[in-house]
Every structure is written in C-alpha cells, then in structure tokens.
Amino acid sequence: MASLPGLVPTGTLRRTMGRSESATFAMTVDVGTDPEWDRATREGLGSVYQLVEDDDGAERVTWGGLVMKRDFGLGNAVNLAVSTHEIYLDGRYTGTYKATGRDQNLIMADLVNIAAGANSSAPTLPGLPFQTVIVGGPGAVRDRAYADTDDKTVFAALDELAHVDGGPQWRLTWQRLHGPERIVPVVEIGTRLGVARQPGMAAPVAWSPRQITSASLSRAWGGASGGNLVTATSTGSGTGARPQSVPKAGPVDGRPVWEYRYAPSTSITTQAVLDSHAAATLAQIRSGSQAVAFTVSRATGPRLLVDYDLGDDADVIFDGPLFPTPLAVSGQIVSYDCDADTVTPILSTSGSL
C-alpha cells in the first residue's frame, strides 16, 4: 500500500500471552512521504502493522498490531496508538452460546471463531480472520453458557475460561499465507503452551549473568497480588441469591489472614465453577505476585522465535550485590518487550524465590 520508512515505534513492542498490548508509533510527513500515507495509517483497525524479521533467511513475525488512534494537527507530525490483535476480541460479543461436556480448548476455539466471522445483525461487515490451532491434545471437559443479554465480550469469556483451575492457555501468533500474499493472526490454544521443562531436566532455554544487561525481580502482596483466603463471586445474571464459592484458604506461613474477593464473571451460576476459580486464584496469589524481567542483547544468546517463544519454560541466573550467591530462577515466559537491539523476556514464577 505504501512505503513509510519514517514510521517508527517510540518505545519497545510488547507481546503477552492472553492479553492485548499497546504501542505508539510516530512519523513526520514531508514532500518525500509516500502519498498513500493517510490510507496506510488509517485508524479504526483500518491499518495493520507487522514486525517481520529475516536475519537468517527464515521469516518470522515478531509482533503485530492494529491502528486504534491517530493524532495530527497543523504541523507535520503524525502519532499513532497501535494495539495487538487481541484487542479485537474485546470488541466482539459472544451472543448466545452453549456448550455441554465440551473440551475446554474447543470452547475457546468456538469463541475465537465467533470473532472471526460477521455479526448476524451486520452480515456485510467482516470479522477479523483469525485462525485457531489446538496445541498439545485434548483438555478438560467443561460446560459454558452465555446469553446475548450477558453482554460478554469474546475476550472476557476467553479470560474467564483461562483462569479456572486447570484452564487452557492461549496466545496470538501470525502466519504468512500465499495467493494472495497476506499475514493472518493465529490463536494457539492448549492446556499448556510452549515447551515445558521435563522432570529432572534443565529448561529448554537459559540465560547466564554474562548475557544479561539489566534485570528486575518484582514482588507484591495485597489486593489481586496476594491473599490467603479467596472467594469467587458472581451476580448470577439475575438468578436470585448471589452465587459464590466456598472460601479457599492457603497454608500457614507466618502471615495473618488476608481476604480477597472477586468476580471472575457475571454469568457464572454454579458454585462448582466458582470453586474452581477460587482454587486457581489462590494458587496464583497465596505467595504474592512475583515477576522476573531481564534484558538481553539480540546479538548474543538465544534467538527470539528461533530458540524460544511465549509459553516456553526458561532458566535465568541473577548475580549482583543483593545476592550473596547467584540466584537461579525458573518460570514460563509469559511476555516480552523487544526493539531492534534487545529483548526483555518476562517470566511468571510459582512459589517463593
């Protein structure tokens, strides 16, 4: 459509499992700018950008996003707000959907396919052409029912299902197709995504202190970031008495009781589903939240989308003045920031570091 070499991101680009991320781009329009720049920066999902890398003859799409907002005025500067494709799932609704005794991975695929198609009220307006891929075999069998009057977005339904005890994971990738040439968004779904550590073995990817230029360990407790007595609730969609789970209590570890109540979904009507949510959330927050992020050079060490991707397990060793001995940390790569020179993988860890 257009060649816009002056269009550049103003910061790093982030990709996260099961969540949309935003970025900003900027460009200066002058007499040498491609005259199609206006159409090529059209907001409202009118333009799609993909970060394509080809440093070794093998093409990889590292990041992609949709133009959501565009600012320009009397000068010649254009600024864009771009969000990854997951944001589209929050602009489509489930409508009426019911599944009984269906594989949780297939329920997720059903929901994504709703967003990939047109709405019956506007059949001439296309959906975003997501493809779905089931990874790693069958998942747990579950029941799900949504009414059109629930006003539940596809993203909200996916997020609720992903956060039940033993729920599936999902991530968005991209694939180049031919005839015509295009890059399409692909939603990968599975009980566990990525390459997992095998018992007694090292993680499939690892970084040593000499490969790390900066690092941070972030821990928090309180609110949604920590608690040892969790109750999941729901409005029950007007069914009468409010459904809620049995309170799930964590182990005794020297902390006083800290209660956390939350509503994973307004359409849940059965206590068993809420019990599953409460158990899963307790397992995630009973030791507090902790995230590990570290920055590595693209020029050295494992290569993004070649040696590792979102969902893979990783080992990293920290060595610095706050650690009397080097600290080895393991976790699942749930997010990463990238620019032309560096990558910052972000790990989700379980248990106390």
Distances (CA, A) of 234 to 79, 111, 161, 259, 329: 41, 21, 14, 17, 36
pLDDT at 215: 86
> Token pair 């494709």 is at which residue?
85
Residue by residue, pLDDT tens for the chain (353 residues) are 889 999 999 999 999 999 999 999 999 999 999 999 999 999 998 889 999 888 777 888 999 999 999 999 889 999 999 999 999 999 999 999 999 999 999 999 999 999 999 998 999 999 999 999 999 889 999 999 999 998 999 999 999 999 888 899 999 999 988 888 888 999 999 999 999 988 888 899 999 888 898 888 788 888 778 889 999 998 755 456 788 999 999 988 888 999 999 888 777 888 998 999 899 889 888 888 777 889 999 888 899 999 999 999 999 988 877 777 888 888 999 999 999 899 999 998 754 43
Distances (CA, A) of 105 to 8, 234, 286: 37, 23, 27
Interatomic CA distance for residues 137 and 299, integer angstroms: 36
pLDDT at 239: 52
The listed CATH number (3.30.470, 3.55.50, 1.20.120, 3.30.200) that belongs to domain 88-190: 3.55.50
Cβ neighbour number for residue 271 with a 10 Å cutoff: 15
Residue spans per domain, the chain: 8-83, 88-190, 205-220+289-348, 223-285
pLDDT at 240: 60
pLDDT at 324: 75
For every residue of 43-104, DSSP letters joined together read TTTT-EEEEEE-SSS--EEEEEEEEEEEEE-SSSEEEEEEE-GGGGGGGSB--SEEEEEEEH
Predicted TM-score of the model (pTM): 0.84
Return the CATH class of domain 205-220+289-348. mainly beta
pLDDT at 319: 84
> Does the bond joining 199 to the residue before it have cis omega, within 30 degrees of 0?
no
